[in-house]
Amino acid sequence: MSEMPNATSSGQELAHPHPGTATRDRSTTEQLADALTAPLAVAQRVLPDSPVPVVLGAGALALVGLIEWPVAAAMGLGYFALRRWHPAQ
């Protein structure tokens, strides 16, 4: 199979043999990043500023047996991670 030259029948050079595969438009990338981080931003707005309700709630759920202690620990760590996370500028 021979390689196809990067030129049209009129002899003009093509920018790329497969448009859209080399790089993505920056605005598309930013839109994708915004869509993926939107749930994190919502969680940051909804979560309380103080860790006390989250820790007490997770501890109470683990104490009565509704969740296992590793899940309660993950909830606490997730809370602290969401409170400290900020999108890169």
Give pLDDT tens digits for 30-41.
888 888 878 877
pTM for this predicted structure: 0.48
Rounded Cα gap, residues 5 and 22, in angstroms: 17
Question: Mean pLDDT across the stretch 1-10?
Answer: 51
66, part of any domain: yes
- For the chain, what is the domain count? 1
36, part of any domain: yes
18, part of any domain: no
> Which pLDDT score is estimated for 10?
53
Quickly state the pLDDT bin for 11 (edges 50, 70, 90). low
6, part of any domain: no
2, part of any domain: no
Which DSSP letter does residue 24 get? -
8, part of any domain: no
pLDDT at residue 47 tops 90: no
Domain that holds residue 59: 26-84
Q: Which residues of 16-31 are buried (b: 16+ CB within 10 A; e: fewer)?
A: eeeeeeeeeeeeeeee
